[in-house]
Amino acid sequence: MKTVKLGLALVAFLMMAPTQAQTADEIISTYFENIGGLENFKAVKGLKMTAKVNQGGMEIPIEIIQLSDGRQMTVISFQGKQLKQGVYDGETLWNHNFMTMKAEKSDAEATANFKLNTNDFLDPFIDYKEKGYTVELLGKETIDGAEAFKIKLVKEPITVDGKEEEDISFYFFDTENFVPIAMQSEIKTGQGKGMTQEVTMSDYQEVEGLYFPFSMTQGVKGQPGAPITMETVELNPTVDDAEFSFPDEMEGEKK
């Protein structure tokens, strides 16, 4: 009898092993099922979001546009002026300088890294295997009082100061609804280099059958972040191509 029980236990373990190895994939699959379906997300060609960022008690209106061909930009309305950040037209990455209000092109390294991220339109987990990304379930953690699956996502390497570095981020999926409630990654450049960037997500709402987080907070882990509240999310917006172009007249002023 003991031999039979041992044999059954061994069979059960061997049957469980491949299932456990696929757990991260299953979590991601369930995630897309819960937010509207993977194929429906892949059919979206563009996204336009209007939101308000709370910066030191001041609410700043922003508009975010992302297109499936990689073009994107963020428009910040501040003191009666509009400043564009993270504008990418498919080749050139540029921003308005907050001090001079003039447009400035990013260097080749920053542009190349930014271009890699355009592969993740709407969600980095869309077709992640086809993009060569890997995922790994690291267990469970508690985020803001909620139990979450911790999944490690490894994407294509990026270049930092001329050296290739791994691009790793950690996503925390709520164990009840299987949606991301937080993302953490190491800051590679700037004053915060070496610190951990953290983005939290909540208040998922339906937009044309798909679900998006309408409340987010972005900042450094362990420090107060900047709350972002979505006001509208529009799918497949009409956007003038010229909106992404580097303003030649400002470029001329710099010479």
Does residue 128 carry a pLDDT above 90?
A: yes
Q: Residues of the chain with pLDDT > 90: what percent?
A: 80
Residue with the bigger pLDDT between 55 and 209: it is 209
Does residue 252 carry a pLDDT above 80?
A: no
Alpha-carbon distance of 94 to 119, in angstroms, equals: 18
Alpha-carbon distance of 219 to 197, in angstroms, equals: 6
The residues facing 105 across adjacent strands are 94
Mean pLDDT score, 181-196: 93
Contacts of 123 (CB under 8 A, 6+ apart): 41
pLDDT band at 55; cut points 50, 70, 90? confident
Residue owning tokens 């073009």: 71
Return the minimum-mean-pLDDT range out of 75-79, 126-130, 183-187.
75-79
Q: Supply the pTM of this predicted model.
A: 0.86
Does residue 250 carry a pLDDT above 80?
A: no
pLDDT score for 81: 87
Residue with the bigger pLDDT between 81 and 206: it is 206
Alpha-carbon distance of 196 to 218, in angstroms, equals: 11
Alpha-carbon distance of 135 to 131, in angstroms, equals: 12
pLDDT tens figures, 147-186 = 999 999 999 999 999 999 999 999 999 999 999 999 999 9
Alpha-carbon distance of 58 to 187, in angstroms, equals: 25
pLDDT tens figures, 101-126 = 899 999 999 999 999 999 999 999 99
Mean pLDDT score, 57-82: 93
Residue with the bigger pLDDT between 166 and 2: it is 166
Does residue 10 carry a pLDDT above 80?
A: no
pLDDT score for 17: 39
pLDDT score for 249: 55
pLDDT score for 24: 96
Mean pLDDT, the chain, integer: 89
pLDDT band at 191; cut points 50, 70, 90? confident
Alpha-carbon distance of 43 to 32, in angstroms, equals: 13
pLDDT score for 23: 86
Does residue 14 carry a pLDDT above 80?
A: no
Alpha-carbon distance of 174 to 75, in angstroms, equals: 31
